[in-house]
Amino acid sequence: MALAKILKFGAKLGLFGGAIYLTTANGVWGNNSEQSIKSLQKFGENVDAHLGGSYLTQAKVPSVELNLSEKWNYGVSKSLDFMADVPEKVTTGCKNGINYVADQWK
């Protein structure tokens, strides 16, 4: 039973590692977004050639228009808002928990 679990985990890990290796080797995770898009299109063409159809080449590559500084600022803002609210939320949660336990003892 344990051997089956180990083999199952090993197979999943191998597939995941192989996928990461292949995409990295083909430049999908490169620094240049244009290179990544070209690599993704090339990957689609190779898959279609092996499968004997046009499955992935018909799929359109989405245009990526990201303003990373805006996303970063939003993330930082939300993180700081969360950190500012933590003391109040913890205090409220503790008071509610104490009240609940006290009500259960009655």
pLDDT tens, residue by residue, 18-33: 888 887 887 777 777 7
- Describe the chain by its helix, strand, coil percentages, rounded to 5: 75, 0, 25
Shared domain for 30 and 58, answered yes or no, is yes
* 50 and 37 fall within a common domain: yes
Clarify whether residues 49 and 13 are in a common domain: yes
Location of structure tokens 């995409």: 23
Other C-beta atoms closer than 10 Å to the C-beta of 88 total 9
Number of separate domains in the chain: 2
Question: Strand, helix or coil at 26?
Answer: coil
Show Cβ contacts of residue 35 under 8 Å, excluding neighbours closer than 6 positions: 27
Stated as kind and residue range, the H or E segment containing 70 is helix 68-105
> Do 60 and 96 share a domain, yes or no?
no
Find the mean pLDDT for residues 37-47.
Answer: 78
Among 33-37, 86-90, 96-100, which is the least confidently predicted range? 33-37
Is residue 60 located within the same domain as residue 72? no
